[in-house]
């Protein structure tokens, strides 16, 4: 933890905190987005309550959640269940959103921000998107002051898809990747937009995307080449809505951050 954050915490806990920082609970605080959001919020002078099982709080445990949300003003929900079973994910997202909403209301929370995906409503032939849409809808139904941030896939997505394709077995010299157009975004920009929605009283629902339209198979090929690996990518089938472009941003969308290729080449190599 940075010394700046330590100093902030000592200052707040001393009871003399006058800076206007908020008490923000981040559900999914240990995840890709949640961990970046926690750092950003603390660096901006907010007090962060971490909600994840690895940090001691399960969103499905209403009693533990009620304790964690004490004096919280804003909840940001960036949870994601482990595994890819769509029915289990729908069940998880709905219960998590209901618990966060009910316990948040009891605690006096004024604003709840949930992270969703651009185009989920256009992609209901894909089970995971059915679950994700149910997440946003349950938040809107249960949570006080609900706001939805919809973003395109994170820049980490092609790497995650490649990892999953390899883990699922099959040929060792090639992987099948679904052939879909997308416009990925830097996850650091997602964390920034979430903090904005959490703390700006005038903010409402928003959509966010990166600057460049790509094909997922090309990004996975580029990643493999960049890492110097010897693996062939076979374009594979996708749900009809996604193949037709449902993941691409439409309407009022904020474009932010570097394109995928610039992002990849700016990362520290391990």
Ligand X SMILES: NC(=O)c1ccc[n+]([C@@H]2O[C@H](COP(=O)([O-])OP(=O)(O)OC[C@H]3O[C@@H](n4cnc5c(N)ncnc54)[C@H](OP(=O)(O)O)[C@@H]3O)[C@@H](O)[C@H]2O)c1
- Residues near ligand X (CB under 6 A) are 27-34, 51-54, 58-60, 78-81, 115, 117, 132, 151, 153-154, 157
Q: Which is nearer to ligand X, 15 or 251 (CB)?
A: 251
Q: Which is nearer to ligand X, 17 or 212 (CB)?
A: 212
Q: Which is nearer to ligand X, 7 or 89 (CB)?
A: 89
Calculated CA dihedral for residues 239, 152, 119, 39, nearest 10 degrees: 120
Q: Which is nearer to ligand X, 80 or 206 (CB)?
A: 80
- Least Å from the CB of residue 86 to ligand X: 12
162: its two tokens: 């490649």
- Least Å from the CB of residue 182 to ligand X: 9
Give residue number: closest CB to ligand X.
Answer: 31
- Least Å from the CB of residue 173 to ligand X: 27
- Least Å from the CB of residue 133 to ligand X: 11
- Least Å from the CB of residue 157 to ligand X: 4
Q: Which is nearer to ligand X, 52 or 199 (CB)?
A: 52
């Amino acid at each position: 933890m940075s010394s700046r954050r330590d100093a902030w915490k000592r200052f707040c806990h001393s009871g003399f905190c006058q800076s206007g920082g908020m008490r923000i609970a981040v559900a999914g605080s240990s995840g890709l987005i949640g961990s970046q959001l926690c750092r950003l919020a603390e660096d901006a002078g907010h007090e962060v309550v971490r909600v994840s099982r690895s940090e001691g709080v399960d969103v499905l445990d209403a009693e533990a959640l009620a304790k964690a949300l004490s004096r919280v003003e804003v909840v940001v929900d960036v949870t994601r269940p482990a595994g890819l079973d769509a029915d289990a994910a729908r069940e998880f997202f709905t219960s998590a959103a209901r618990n966060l909403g009910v316990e948040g209301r009891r605690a006096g929370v004024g604003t709840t921000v949930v992270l969703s995906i651009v185009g989920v409503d256009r992609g209901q032939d894909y089970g995971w998107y059915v679950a994700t849409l149910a997440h946003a809808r349950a938040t809107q139904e249960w949570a006080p002051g609900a706001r939805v941030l919809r973003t395109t896939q994170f820049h980490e997505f092609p790497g995650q898809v490649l990892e999953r394709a390899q883990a699922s077995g099959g040929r060792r010299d090639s992987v099948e990747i679904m052939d879909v157009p997308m416009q990925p975004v830097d996850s650091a920009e997602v964390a920034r937009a979430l903090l904005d929605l959490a703390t700006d009283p005038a903010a409402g629902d928003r959509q966010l995307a990166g600057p460049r339209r790509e094909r997922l198979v090309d990004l996975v090929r580029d990643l493999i080449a960049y890492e110097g690996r010897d693996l062939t990518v076979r374009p594979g089938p996708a749900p009809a809505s996604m193949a037709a472009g449902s993941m691409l941003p439409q309407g009022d969308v904020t474009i932010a951050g570097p394109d995928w290729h610039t992002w990849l080449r700016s990362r520290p190599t391990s």
